Structure 1
Amino acid sequence: MSAEKAPAVDETGELGNRVLFGDNLPMLQELPDESITLIYVDPPFNTGRTQARQQTTAVRSAEQGLGTVSGFKGLNYERIRGQLRSYDDSFDDYWGFLEPRLVEAWRLLTDDGTLYVHLDYREAHYAKVLLDALFGRDSFLNEIIWAYDYGAKSKNRWPTKHDTILVYVKNPKTYYFDSTTVDREPYMAPGLVTPAKAKKGKLPTDVWWHTIVSPTGKEKTGYPTQKPMGILRRIIQASSREGDLVLDFFAGSGTTGAVAAKLKRRFLLMDQNPEAITVMRSRLPESTVYVGVPDELQSEGNG
């Protein structure tokens, strides 16, 4: 079976604990409506400001469930898209690639589902406006700032040491969120609270101080865009329940799946990088099913 034509769902209809190899857009389009509780995406950052991507129409017709959604200041999706294009000529290159995948994310989310989009400062502002239009401004839940302090630091400007994670829900009236299940963190000024509160710790805010994956730590896989398990653990704890299905269609090193499995969630991962498949085999449960993986990447067990 070729990777390009790998089915997203086999004859059993099972979705959970699978890794799909290939272009994520056609595989996303095969998945059933409202089948995913939590979607986390960490797309390739547009660091070069130019991307050689094939242009793809992003907006479905109204008959298909997502038409010209009214969003930012009452403007519709296509109008906002046109305005952003006029501001930056790299917009079409990058967002022509990402938009149709976010449209599919909207379709796939359950009524109580949540989308987390992990970006850096170069694209976060575009994403916020477009996601407002796609989901509706009332569906915007949070802008999470993940702050870290590691690596080289610029001396001619404030060093850039944070990523942005935008959080949108499918339905602002019914979305699932339970912060009481999230690991607590130390107070920054424990002397200002009671000893009991200091011992218990506090619930995280929308600013997350968390180190990157240590270059010498046990968690390190060598995959260049690997994200810390602590970040995904917090997301999955708050926005899904045991048994829920979690999707990551830019899976990379497989951190989303590894954390989901530990938290007793089902996972569905997608990537088209052979190196990602190799790394995921070393991290995910042995029962994980790999779909569309070329023969040269097939292996007995997870090694």
Structure 2
Amino acid sequence: MAKATGASPKQNELYYGDNLDVLRRKIASESVDLCYIDPPFNSKRNYFQIYNNQGGEDRAQAQAFVDTWEWGDEANDGIAWITDIAQLQSGRLTEQTVELLRGLEKVLKRGSLLAYLIHMTLRIVEIRRVLKPTGTFYLHCDPTASHYLKLILDAVFCGQGGDFRNEIIWSYESGGRAKSDFARKHDVIFRYSKSKDFVFNAAAVSSPRGETRHNHMKKHIDEDGRAFRSIKSNGKIYKYYDDEGVIPADVWPISHLQQKDPERLGYPTQKPEIILERIIKASSNEGDVVLDAYCGCGTTVAVAQRLGRRWIGIDITYQSISLILKRLQDKYPAEWPAIEAGILLDGVPRDIASAVALANRKDDKTRKEFEKWSVLTYSNNQARINEKKGADAGIDGTAFFLIDASTNGKAIFQVKSGGATRNTLATLNSDRQREKAEFGFLISMDAPTKAMRDEIVAAGKYKHPLLHREDDRLQVITVAEILRGDRLNLPMARLDAVRSAKAETGSDRQDSLL
């Protein structure tokens, strides 16, 4: 059941799960002041992300997600829900929305693009519901599907008293050069208000006009001593005061994050914080609630935290959840204990039953989530998740440690949700030897049997040359041990697998976008 209407969260909230389910069951109607989303664009690209180059050839083995859509059960269920007369009768959908999707089905047929648009429609409907009457919605997309998305936004928002406010163009100069087309160098950000009464803090995002603007006009001084320039148009006199701010236009020339930018975490769709800063300052006030239903690497969350807003983040992959928590810890090392204590972390396994439920997810989007959660949690987010297909498919993650100042050691992980045997460990040991890894870790739902313990003994021990420390080359970790707090303890473990966010300083927290 969702919270009561208007029940804004009293703390920050980070949800691990499908955003549609979270929006429907856990976010109250009219409880959110501002929502920004940067959803997948249906661009059919594979993304590789967040890891530093520790192991040379392992640089690109971690796959964050695959931005590809296809028609399947989710799309079938979605179109059935949208066209069910009960949704129309209950007021959950507008007639415009239903008829639009019916028309798009006839035009586009049941394929990848329609599946994507159904996915987005279901979530846009819920986002509008959770917005306060004064709330604002920003949807970040690219020209791949922006024209279709605007039709959906118009149907959902304008059909229920809302307004289209802006089509913002984020223009940038980066990437390759086109040879047979005009170079594609922009994204689109749609801005919609839920009603005619909405928050827009012009002063918070305005820049000083300065004496150089409108300098083709004659300068005057009014009775209060303020400098202004004026122009007469259509019988009216317009005054432009030099000390007034100028609201940004709807074209934002802001550079992509560059390779060496200290803000860059390597996440494939990471956006510059300056974009979110402008959006959050313009359309919310301190203490307001900001929602990002596709929070990815947590840029919205990080900026909302810095600007004194409460925030709600949702993501379907545990890599994103772990990255967001690490990002906040890196940015606010001194305040982190208090920040962490103020976060409601929902959907992350807390007991065996919830771990089993995660392991039993069968859909393609979440089939690896149990492996990701167990490896990342046990390794304190210092292992790399491996989704590479092929001969090494049995390896679910890799971590590194230092043998000496210039030599890495390697540990590989395999996760089994049940049915692990001595043969499982024997295979893991073969994989370890093939990968030239010093350690092999098996994460299992079940405790090791005597036969498995014998296999561990047979594999021998690794003695670190500098620490004079010996550890079993094969080890079994149970989910129960992870849940009680046991964590990876490699000799001279490397703690730089994931890129770190720059810590905030006093100067960083000042207004950086005028």
Q: Structure 2: give runs of 5+ residues left out of the alignment.
A: 45-66, 220-226, 229-240, 350-372, 381-484, 486-499, 501-514
Which has the higher relative contact order, 1 or 2, with Cα contacts under 8 A spaced 6 or more apart? 1
Aligned to 1:17: 12
Alignment deviations for residues 258-289 of structure 1 (CA, whole Å, 9 cap, x no partner)? 00011100010011222212321222253242
Q: CA deviation at 1:67?
A: 3.1
1:129 aligns to 2:151 (yes or no): yes
How far apart are the structure 1 equivalents of 2:293 and 2:260? 27
How far apart are the structure 1 equivalents of 2:142 and 2:10? 30
2:170 touches 2:253 (CA, 8 Å); kept in 1? yes
2:2 touches 2:28 (CA, 8 Å); kept in 1? no
Alignment deviations for residues 122-157 of structure 1 (CA, whole Å, 9 cap, x no partner)? 111001111111111651111111000011111111
How far apart are the structure 1 equivalents of 2:249 and 2:202? 10
How far apart are the structure 1 equivalents of 2:9 and 2:134? 21
1:144 touches 1:166 (CA, 8 Å); kept in 2? yes
1:85 aligns to 2:140 (yes or no): no
User: Structure 2 vs 1, CA of residues 47 and 109 (structure 1 numbering), >3 Å: closer, same or farther?
Assistant: same
Q: CA deviation at 1:79?
A: 1.4
Q: CA deviation at 1:180?
A: 1.0
Which of 201, 204, 212 matches 1:178? 201
Q: CA deviation at 1:169?
A: 0.8
Q: Which structure has the greater CA radius of gyration?
A: 2
1:117-266 aligned within 5 A: 117-136=139-158, 139-172=163-196, 174-182=197-205, 184=207, 190=212, 192-193=214-215, 202-266=246-310
Q: Which amino acid aligns with 1:42?
A: D
1:183 touches 1:234 (CA, 8 Å); kept in 2? no
1:177 touches 1:239 (CA, 8 Å); kept in 2? yes
Aligned to 1:106: 128
How far apart are the structure 1 equivalents of 2:107 and 2:68? 15
Which of 22, 36, 47 matches 2:43? 47
CA RMSD of aligned residues (A): 3.0
Aligned to 1:3: none
Alignment deviations for residues 102-135 of structure 1 (CA, whole Å, 9 cap, x no partner)? 1100100000000100000011100111111111
User: Structure 2 vs 1, CA of residues 85 and 281 (structure 1 numbering), >3 Å: closer, same or farther?
Assistant: same
User: Structure 2 vs 1, CA of residues 209 and 88 (structure 1 numbering), >3 Å: closer, same or farther?
Assistant: same
Q: Which amino acid aligns with 2:194?
A: K
User: Structure 2 vs 1, CA of residues 281 and 178 (structure 1 numbering), >3 Å: closer, same or farther?
Assistant: same
Q: Structure 1: give runs of 5+ residues left out of the alignment.
A: 1-6, 70-75
Which of 333, 347, 352 matches 1:292? 347
User: Structure 2 vs 1, CA of residues 96 and 13 (structure 1 numbering), >3 Å: closer, same or farther?
Assistant: same
Which of 25, 33, 40 matches 2:29? 33
How far apart are the structure 2 equivalents of 1:214 and 1:293? 33
Aligned to 1:4: none
Q: CA deviation at 1:15?
A: 5.5
How far apart are the structure 2 equivalents of 1:271 and 1:8? 18
Which stretch of the first structure deviates more once superposed, 261-270 or 277-286?
Answer: 277-286
Q: Which amino acid aligns with 2:150?
A: K
So what's the TM-score if we normalise by structure 2? 0.51
How far apart are the structure 2 equivalents of 1:219 and 1:114? 26
Q: Which amino acid aligns with 1:293?
A: V
Q: CA deviation at 1:85?
A: 2.6
Matched-pair identity in % = 35
1:51 touches 1:93 (CA, 8 Å); kept in 2? yes
1:221 touches 1:279 (CA, 8 Å); kept in 2? no
Alignment deviations for residues 168-209 of structure 1 (CA, whole Å, 9 cap, x no partner)? 11102x11111211153899x946548998898732111111
SS of residue paired to 1:282: helix
How far apart are the structure 1 equivalents of 2:178 and 2:209? 29
Q: Which amino acid aligns with 1:96?
A: I
Q: Which amino acid aligns with 1:159?
A: A
SS of residue paired to 1:145: strand
Which of 49, 66, 71 matches 2:92? 66
